[in-house]
Structure 1
Amino acid sequence: MLLKTKTATLLLTLCAPLALGACGSDAPEPVETEAVDVPVAADAPEGVSLTGAEVRMPAVSGRPGVAYFTIASETPRTIASVSVLGAERSEIHETNMVDGKMTMAVVDTIDLQPGEPLNFQPGGYHVMLFDMDATIAPGSTADVTISFADGDKASIQAPVTGAGGMDHSAMEGMD
């Protein structure tokens, strides 16, 4: 019991100056900061935002790459297709859990609901990029264009990253 009391006293003695020092008035004055806007599509219909775009290279040359982004609309819209300059073909896919296994299926169209952002991300909707040419390389950017059923389009410059940046945690059980 005496050892516990001595240990507690020692800890209080050592920690008290640290705790009191934190209460001092020498804290730096708050610095005014500017709000930083997340880049949105440079070319988009009014009421459409397109953010967080990224194109990831395939882990194995010759295999498909992938594009991710977040899109939102203030009005109902239907995504008809997504294209990436430098990819010969692109397909919208959705990842689903079927009988305990993750599967991917091609999606023809996606309906956007007003005010509900839709994330294209690992383990959900994403855009598969086939036959990517040499203009798409890590460190560069790629033009991502979303085409809507009414003919409108939204485009954004997406940074291109290597496959090593991919978070595979959402792909467990993938066939």
Structure 2
Amino acid sequence: MRITPVFMSLALSLALSACGSEAPDPVPAETVDVPVAADGPKGVSLTDAQVRMPAVGGRPGSAYFMISSDEPRTITGVAVMGAGRTEMHESAMVDGVMSMKKVETVALEPGEPHAFKTGGHHVMLFDMDATIAPGGTTDLTITFDNGDKASIAAKVVGAGGMDMGDHDMAGMEH
């Protein structure tokens, strides 16, 4: 079988769909202001959490959310129930090429909402459990450098369209 450039482009698009395709606007799931230590640290707001399933089974999914804090905080991890492993990533345009890299921490500035979204910080979800399905919810938990945690029920959504928008994926690095 001869592999054509069109076939290779389609395969690359499918493989990178969880990483770089245009995600729909975050679907409001559950808004949680965490005012007491029992559910998380006081002054942390975690909203609009969404888990996006991969377009192709066995590929990574992704998670997006909004978070803010009344004081400086550093996120050191994000856990999603049903994901065997998670990694925080950051996408950025470097020399005209969109690239994505793993990050160990994300700093929050007081009073400044921080969006985990396509094209910026986001969470990659590996080894997704087959029981996680669009239309449901799953727990998303943020861990801070001091050990505090904040959780929210994240809405699970499908992969969505394959529209790559204005993104030229030809030079995508990962």
TMscore range, shorter length:
0.7 to 0.9
The answer on 1:40 being equivalent to 2:32 is yes
Contact 1:71-1:119 at 8 Å conserved across structures: yes
Percent of matched pairs sharing the same residue:
63
- Relative to structure 1, the CA distance from residue 162 to residue 91 in structure 2 (aligned partners, 3 Å threshold; closer, same or farther) is same
When residues 154 and 84 of structure 1 are mapped into structure 2, their CA distance, relative to the original with a 3 A threshold, is same
Measure, in 2, the Cα distance between the counterparts of 1:153 and 1:74: 15
Which of 91, 96, 103 aligns to 1:100? It is 96
Equivalent-residue separation in structure 2 for 1:140 and 1:165 (angstroms): 19
Q: Which residue of 2 aligns with 1:49?
A: 45
Between Structure 1 and Structure 2, whose CA radius of gyration is higher?
1
- 1:146 equivalent in structure 2: 142
Aligned AA (1:158)? A
* Alpha-carbon distance between aligned partners in 1 of 2:33 and 2:125, rounded to the nearest angstrom: 20
Q: Is the 8 A contact 1:85 1:142 kept in 2?
A: yes
| Aligned residue pairs, count | 137
Q: Letter of the 1:134 partner, please give it.
A: A
Code of the residue aligned with 1:68 in structure 2: it is: Y
In the alignment, the residues of structure 2 paired with residue 39 and residue 102 of structure 1 have an alpha-carbon distance, to the nearest angstrom, of 31
Match status 1:169 vs 2:165: yes
Runs of 4+ deviating beyond 2 Å? 41-44, 165-170
Unaligned runs of 5+ in 2: 1-29
Structure 2 distance, partners of 1:147, 1:103, is: 25
Q: Does 1:114 align with 2:110?
A: yes
1:84 maps to which residue?
Answer: 80
Alignment of 1:10-21 (within 5 A): none
* Greater helix content: 1
- TM-score by length of structure 1 reads 0.74
Shift in Å, 1:168:
4.2
In structure 1, runs of 5+ residues without a counterpart are 1-37
Alignment CA distance shift 1:111-1:139 (3 Å): same
CA contact (8 A) 1:56 1:66 kept: yes
**Shift, 1:41, TM fit:** 5.1
CA distance in 2, matches of 1:126, 1:62: 19
Work out the CA distance in 2 between the residues paired with 1:118 and 1:167. Answer: 25
With the length of structure 2 as denominator, give the TM-score of the two structures.
Answer: 0.74
